[in-house]
């Protein structure tokens, strides 16, 4: 049984079909990349999976449960965690508090164990030195790492990443890629990552890639195969990446 299953999911905004009858499966512990130009429907797809929007048609099944019409806060405890392109931390709270919130509300921990869990996650993403800083004082990159730590503290079965590595230097990217590899292998967390730029990161990260175009799935398959497909190179990536 796949961990996540989308069955002919459609979302319209007025006359515009932002996501057009997408079917998709993600297995436990899998690394899936979602690629596509601006406006191809990637964010809307994430919003449907995380419950920000409900589909006009189709069904979404997570871990055997129909979550099509479940609000976001009821999806998190089931094991669905998401990061945002523009993180929205609780600004006046400290970094450790922000991450502990994930462990409390996502994984149902009490305050003490949530704080312990949060410390571990901060170390894992490499920002333990920022523990007691107010979240609003972090750089955009540090905020994204904090958000990743918070998502991990929720002990998800699936992590939806929104351009989490954008703007990072190569050594930070490698560190995050190593981390994602580890949580996939050790904790069987499925990681879905949306990528617009950073094609080299996706070749290292993803086992499988879905290319979106005008709300539809243009092509799906093994990463190397998809990214070396002539149509994908010419029309959607602009240059050879693998
Ligand atoms: N809330 C909304 N209301 C109306 N139209 C929307 C809304 N959200 C997205 N759209 C439209 O749906 C289409 C898909 O947008 P979406 O943001 O999902 O694409 P994307 O691939 O994530 O692009 P980007 O990388 O620019 O975010 C676009 O034409 C967009 O203008």
> What is the tens place of the pLDDT at every residue in 197-223?
666 778 888 999 999 989 999 899 999
Give the ligand 1 atom nearest the CA of 215.
14
Residue nearest to atom 31 of ligand 1 (CA): 39
For residue 221, tell me if it sits in a domain.
Answer: no
Supply the pLDDT for residue 109.
86
Q: The tokens 């405890």 sit on which residue?
A: 77
Query: Mean of the per-residue pLDDT values for the chain?
Result: 89
> What is the tens place of the pLDDT at every residue in 47-62?
999 999 999 999 999 9
For residue 34, tell me if it sits in a domain.
Answer: yes
Query: Do 188 and 29 form a contact (C-beta atoms < 8 A)?
Result: yes
Q: Is 65 helix (H, G, I), strand (E, B) or coil?
A: strand
Do residues 66 and 166 share a domain?
yes
Q: Is the pLDDT of residue 158 over 70?
A: yes
Do residues 85 and 136 share a domain?
yes
Do residues 67 and 165 share a domain?
yes
Q: Is 13 in the pocket of ligand 1 (CB under 6 A)?
A: yes
Q: Is 43 in the pocket of ligand 1 (CB under 6 A)?
A: yes
CA of 222 to the centre of ligand 1 (A): 26
Supply the pLDDT for residue 14.
95
Tell me the H-state helices in the chain.
42-50, 72-75, 95-105, 111-125, 140-153, 170-187, 199-205, 223-227, 230-231
Range of the structural domain that residue 124 is part of:
80-155
Do residues 131 and 14 share a domain?
no
For residue 66, tell me if it sits in a domain.
Answer: yes
For residue 137, tell me if it sits in a domain.
Answer: yes
Do residues 135 and 85 share a domain?
yes
Q: How far apart are CA 45 and CA 55, in angstroms?
A: 9
Structural domains counted in the chain? 2
For residue 227, tell me if it sits in a domain.
Answer: no
For residue 236, tell me if it sits in a domain.
Answer: no
Q: Is 52 in the pocket of ligand 1 (CB under 6 A)?
A: no
Question: What is the CATH number for 181?
Answer: 3.40.50.300
Distance of CA 238 to CAs 96, 143, 227, 235, Å?
41, 30, 11, 6
CA of 85 to the centre of ligand 1 (A): 14
Do residues 151 and 37 share a domain?
no
For residue 234, tell me if it sits in a domain.
Answer: no
Do residues 2 and 60 share a domain?
yes
pTM of the predicted model as reported, rounded to 2 decimal places: 0.89
Give the ligand 1 atom nearest the CA of 44.
18
The interface predicted TM-score (ipTM) is 0.95
CA of 17 to the centre of ligand 1 (A): 10
Do residues 102 and 147 share a domain?
yes
Pick from 123, 118, 88, 113: nearest CA to 100: 118
Do residues 126 and 175 share a domain?
no
Q: Is 223 in the pocket of ligand 1 (CB under 6 A)?
A: no
Do residues 87 and 146 share a domain?
yes
For residue 7, tell me if it sits in a domain.
Answer: yes
């Amino acid at each position: 049984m796949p961990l996540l299953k989308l069955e002919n999911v459609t979302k319209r905004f007025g006359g515009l079909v932002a996501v057009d009858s997408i079917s998709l499966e993600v297995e436990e512990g899998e690394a899936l990349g979602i690629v596509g130009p601006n406006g191809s429907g990637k964010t809307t797809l994430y919003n449907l999976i995380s419950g920000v929007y409900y589909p006009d048609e189709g069904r979404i099944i997570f871990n055997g449960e129909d979550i099509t019409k479940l609000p976001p806060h009821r999806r998190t405890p089931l094991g669905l965690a998401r990061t945002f392109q523009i993180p929205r931390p609780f600004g006046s709270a400290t970094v450790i508090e922000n991450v502990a919130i994930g462990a409390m509300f996502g994984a149902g921990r009490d305050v003490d164990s949530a704080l312990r869990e949060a410390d571990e996650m901060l170390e894992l993403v490499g920002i333990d030195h920022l523990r007691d800083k107010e979240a609003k004082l972090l750089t955009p990159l540090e905020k994204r790492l904090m958000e990743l730590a918070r998502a991990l503290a929720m002990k998800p079965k699936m992590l939806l990443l929104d351009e989490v590595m954008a703007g990072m230097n190569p050594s930070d990217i490698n560190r995050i890629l190593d981390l994602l590899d580890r949580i996939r292998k050790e904790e069987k967390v499925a990681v879905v990552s949306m990528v617009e730029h950073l094609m080299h990161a996706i070749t290292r990260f993803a086992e499988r890639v879905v290319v979106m175009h005008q709300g539809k799935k243009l092509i799906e398959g093994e990463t190397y195969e998809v990214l070396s497909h002539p149509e994908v190179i010419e029309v959607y990536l602009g240059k050879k990446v693998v």
